[in-house]
Amino acid sequence: MAEGFETLEGWFSLHDFRHFNWPVWNALAKEEKHEIQEELAALLSRYMQIEEKREGSFAFYNIVGQKADFLFLNLRPSLSDFSFVEQEFHKTQFAKLTTPAYSYVSVVELSNYVVSHEKTPEIEAMINSRLKPVLPKTKHICFYPMNKRREGTENNWYLLPLEERKRLMKSHGMLGRKFAGQVTQMIGGSIGLDDWEWGVTLFAEDPLVFKHVVTDMRFDEVSARYADFGAFFVGNQLTLPQLKQILI
């Protein structure tokens, strides 16, 4: 049996994708729309206060295409925190205008493929910042779930020796470094938590970076031989003023 891999876990993550009922919204009176906007703005402000207190993080996006309309992305210290997050959202009038499109539950993860075994204050601080991140407020986001293949013995990631997996992941990581400063990546481990094994979230100012980085990675052996991908969701960041411009 191949040796397993160790992981470090941080905050839990909930990607909540929502469809919005535009016909119902368009039929509402101006006063009703204003009340719903103000209630939602208050909720998002509470999310940001949690982020300011370093008790979680939050990002809000308008999803492009027909897979969803909005993404509420929250990080919290424990899985049980999301019961409150979801209940608080469902009590709003805005929530009643939405239906679930897709959701993904994971925990921010670093594996021993990439984590240094040195224990210096600088390395500890870096690891902590990656496990409990403040979500980047970039213009664009890309999310997709993925698995490592388990096909027979030829393309079975889980039958490879640990040292071979480390070698492949090191090469994979070096390829990604060419995009340093252009894209920020958050890996959510979801084995036992959701239908896929990992959820990958990319943040960038230029959406073409998503195309370039994913294309390059597809040619790397880790992806070419061992990766399966789910649906891709891309979107644009929404600030409160931008949200109010959309909801008119």
Active site residues: 144
Long-range contacts formed by 168-174: CB under 8 A, 24+ apart? 168/221, 168/222, 168/226, 169/111, 169/113, 169/114, 169/222, 170/113, 170/114, 171/220, 171/221, 171/222, 172/217, 172/220, 172/221, 172/222, 172/223, 173/113, 173/114
CB 139 within 8 A of CB 231: no
C-alpha–C-alpha distance, residues 226 and 154, integer Å? 10
Q: Which amino acid is at 164?
A: E
In the chain, what is the straight-line distance between the N-terminal and C-terminal CA atoms, in Å?
A: 59
Bridge pairing between strands 227-229 and 233-237: unpaired
Sign of CA dihedral 169, 172, 177, 179: negative
Give the three-state DSSP class for 232. Answer: coil
Looking at residue 194, the DSSP 8-state letter turns out to be S
